[in-house]
Amino acid sequence: MKKFLAKKMMLLVGLVLLGLTFSSFKDDDKNFKVAKNLDIFNTIFKELNIYYVDTINPDKSIKVGIDAMLDGLDPYTEYYPEEEMGDLNLMLKGSYGGIGSIITYYKGRVAIDEPYEGMPAAKVGLKAGDVLLEIDGKDLKGKSVAQVSEMLKGQIGTSFMLKVERPGAKKPLEFKLTRESIQIPAVPYYSVEANNTGYIQLNSFTGKPSKEFKDAFLALKKKGITSLVIDLRNNGGGLLDEAVEIANMFIPRGKEIVSTKGRIKQGDRSYKTTREPIDPEIPITVLVNNSSASASEILAGAFQDLDRAVIIGTRTFGKGLVQTTRNLPYGGNLKLTTAKYYIPSGRCVQAIDYKHRNEDGSVGRVPDSLTTVFHTAAGREVRDGGGIMPDVEIKVEKAPNILFYLVMDKLIFEYANDYCVKHPTIASAKDFVLTDEDYNEFKALVNKANFKYDRQSDKVLKNLKEVAEFEGYMDEASEEFKALEKKLSHNLDRDLDHFAKDIKSVISTEIVKRSQFQKGAIIQQLKGDEELAKAIELLKDQDKYKSLLKPGKTNAEQKSVATAK
């Protein structure tokens, strides 16, 4: 018996050693391949540097090589050389040294698009529409937006002179600006809406959003709100910890909000609420859309999985990947994906599988048929692999094609400049109305500019004609095509009238923000917001609100109950 056990033990030890040997061979083979290919890359660059017909810029060439390598992974893994670290810091901290203004390209020059309230640009009196001519006497003609942006940014406390051309002014104006730490607000607006419903717009999870959110929520509590709408639309995310902090204001201590799992053990972590919530009972609705991503999906997903809020809007983006940063030699940095995150039900919302690419290198979303069913704390069905599907889905009509081109061609921007010259003061954002007479003036400006835009109907009709001709149907259908071409003929005045509501809304926002900044623009945009109205309506009907958070209905049944009028 002892001999048998001894033989068995020897065999077991032998298998373990054999496994370790194979593992060692595998690791050695991988390390050899890494060393071999790095040596090949190094040698190729040296040969090019010595023998190539033209002089090679080493920084640019290596950067192109690195970027091409990272492009094969995912869009969130990026290399930042020392000179681009400002972009990474802005992404992580939401702050930079500058004047606090969005700039844009306008009529061959860079111009102020929107100064931030309370920041250096606004303090000295810069306005949207101001065309930038010189910085410290250096002519900016021919400079790109990126180049001018770098010139405006700099060390906090440093000053410079800026010369601008202002619409309606007879001669250029000069301003002395001192750079400050520019912190982009994560909560640009909050208010009390109908039925004592609080509204908080959360634009980002960079900087200190949890502090801003807490201050806003406590201010609304003092005003007597009895329910809350959290607006995460177009919030692209940021810091995971900040999403957990905000969730903790409404979710009891000790609840897991999110966990991460990576290839190495350091990527595995669980994030739980650590304090008692400020208000664990207040009814909440969360607005999301297809641009709500990352930390936004963690917050919305945690609320949904823990049955703490009703999610309203359209399916979110579907980013379930976590990035960390690694310091590199010579002041650079590598932002790389190190883990996936999982919300309380255990699901990951990542919509695109970058590991398994098509033969042409493209990637696609995970089809709904391949997603897995998970369950919320109360037992409601939810799915992974495609973002957060709202409890109440609201289909939002796409902006008309003509509006895109009016914005891109800066015709709305130009009209707002002219309008503000003629109207130095306007009504508050809540009361401002663009009249029919004003809109007729805008239409006249568009017609005078000989405005052209891409019409999707023309493209589709052209493709259909080509197919009909190829398949031999053109002779029989020629009269029908002529009639359709006549009906779809280019009619600018008709389109400006047909889409007047959408166009007027954008014009009004552009005008209001010139004197009332971002807050005024948000107030203007929220007028007639159907999703916000649906959120407030649902919070008013507590029976319907509570029914959506209970199990027992299929997703389709839940949606039909929620969307019925």
Q: What is the mean pLDDT of residues 231-248?
A: 96
Choose the catalytic residue: 74, 113, 305, 438: 305
| Same domain as 353, residue 447 | no
Distance in angstroms (rounded) separating the CA atoms of residues 84 and 78: 11
| Same domain as 193, residue 342 | yes
Q: Does the CA dihedral 503-509-512-514 come out positive or negative?
A: negative
Q: Could you tell me if residue 277 is inside a domain?
A: yes
| pLDDT grade for 279, boundaries at 50, 70 and 90 | very high
What pLDDT sits at residue 27? 67
Furthest-apart CA atoms within the chain: distance in Å: 107
Q: What is the mean pLDDT of residues 244-271?
A: 94
Lowest mean pLDDT among 6-15, 36-45, 494-503: 6-15
| Same domain as 434, residue 375 | no
Who wins on pLDDT, 131 or 19? 131
Q: What is the mean pLDDT of residues 534-563?
A: 76
Q: What is the mean pLDDT of residues 532-559?
A: 83
pLDDT surpasses 80 at 21: no
What pLDDT sits at residue 565? 34
pLDDT surpasses 80 at 92: no
Any idea what DSSP says for residue 100? -
Domain finish residue from 167, 183, 199: 183
Q: Could you tell me if residue 550 is inside a domain?
A: no
| Same domain as 533, residue 409 | yes
* Residue 178 one-letter amino acid: T
Q: What is the mean pLDDT of residues 482-509?
A: 83
What pLDDT sits at residue 483? 67
| pLDDT grade for 557, boundaries at 50, 70 and 90 | very low
| pLDDT grade for 103, boundaries at 50, 70 and 90 | very high
Domain finish residue from 163, 183, 203: 183
Which tokens is 177 given? Answer: 């600006």
Q: Could you tell me if residue 303 is inside a domain?
A: yes
Distance in angstroms (rounded) separating the CA atoms of residues 245 and 240: 9
Closest CA to 240 of 269, 214, 263, 277: 269
Lowest mean pLDDT among 177-181, 365-369, 433-437: 365-369
User: Which residue range(s) make up the domain with 58?
Assistant: 30-63
| Same domain as 491, residue 346 | no
Q: Could you tell me if residue 86 is inside a domain?
A: no
What pLDDT sits at residue 492? 87
What pLDDT sits at residue 96? 85
What pLDDT sits at residue 9? 53
> Residue for token digits 């204001």?
249
What pLDDT sits at residue 84? 83
pLDDT surpasses 90 at 250: yes
Distance in angstroms (rounded) separating the CA atoms of residues 433 and 166: 25
| Same domain as 423, residue 310 | no
Say how many C-beta atoms besides its own lie within 10 A of residue 220's C-beta. 20
Choose the catalytic residue: 127, 208, 319, 513: 319
Domain finish residue from 390, 425, 455: 390
Q: Could you tell me if residue 73 is inside a domain?
A: no
pLDDT surpasses 60 at 282: yes
| Same domain as 127, residue 219 | no
Q: Could you tell me if residue 152 is inside a domain?
A: yes
Of 85-89, 355-359, 429-433, 552-556, which one has max mean pLDDT?
429-433
Mode of pairing for the β-strands spanning 189-193 and 197-201: antiparallel
**Quick check: is 294 catalytic?**
yes
Residue 99 neighbours by CB under 8 Å, 6+ apart? 115, 119, 120, 121, 126, 152, 177, 179, 180, 182
Q: What is the mean pLDDT of residues 331-344?
A: 94
Q: Domain containing 114 — which CATH number? A: 2.30.42.10
Q: Could you tell me if residue 262 is inside a domain?
A: yes
| Same domain as 506, residue 455 | yes
Say how many C-beta atoms besides its own lie within 10 A of residue 134's C-beta. 16
- Which helix (H) or strand (E) element contains residue 228? strand 227-231
Q: Could you tell me if residue 426 is inside a domain?
A: yes
Q: What is the mean pLDDT of residues 326-332?
A: 91
**Quick check: is 319 catalytic?**
yes
Q: Domain containing 362 — which CATH number? A: 3.90.226.10
Q: What is the mean pLDDT of residues 48-66?
A: 91
Q: What is the mean pLDDT of residues 145-152?
A: 94
H helices present in 184-238, as ranges? 209-222
Span 177-207, pLDDT tens digits? 999 998 889 999 999 999 999 999 999 999 8
Q: What is the mean pLDDT of residues 317-327?
A: 93
Lowest mean pLDDT among 112-126, 344-358, 477-491: 477-491
Indicate the number of domains in the chain: 4
Say how many C-beta atoms besides its own lie within 10 A of residue 369's C-beta. 5
What pLDDT sits at residue 489? 58
Distance in angstroms (rounded) separating the CA atoms of residues 387 and 297: 7
Distance in angstroms (rounded) separating the CA atoms of residues 91 and 206: 7
| Same domain as 386, residue 414 | no
Provide the CB-side half-sphere exposure for 163 (13 A, CA). Answer: 11
pLDDT surpasses 90 at 78: yes
| pLDDT grade for 478, boundaries at 50, 70 and 90 | confident
What pLDDT sits at residue 491? 80
| Same domain as 111, residue 45 | no
Distance in angstroms (rounded) separating the CA atoms of residues 267 and 339: 6
| Same domain as 132, residue 44 | no
pLDDT surpasses 80 at 220: yes
Tell me the residue ranges of DSSP E strands in 51-158.
78-80, 95-98, 101-106, 109-115, 131-135, 138-139
Q: What is the mean pLDDT of residues 102-110?
A: 94
17 SS3 class: helix
By CB atoms closer than 10 A (0-12, 13-18, 19+), residue 560 is exposed
Say how many C-beta atoms besides its own lie within 10 A of residue 160's C-beta. 18
What pLDDT sits at residue 564? 36
Distance in angstroms (rounded) separating the CA atoms of residues 216 and 210: 10
What pLDDT sits at residue 485? 61
What pLDDT sits at residue 362? 75
Choose the catalytic residue: 101, 294, 296, 345: 294
pTM for this entry? 0.85
Of 39-43, 49-53, 60-64, 542-546, which one has max mean pLDDT?
542-546
What pLDDT sits at residue 561? 41
| Same domain as 262, residue 142 | no
Closest CA to 286 of 277, 276, 297, 278: 297
What pLDDT sits at residue 411? 96
Q: What is the mean pLDDT of residues 94-100?
A: 87
Average pLDDT, the chain: 88
By CB atoms closer than 10 A (0-12, 13-18, 19+), residue 55 is exposed
Quick check: 202 and 236 in contact, CB under 8 A? no
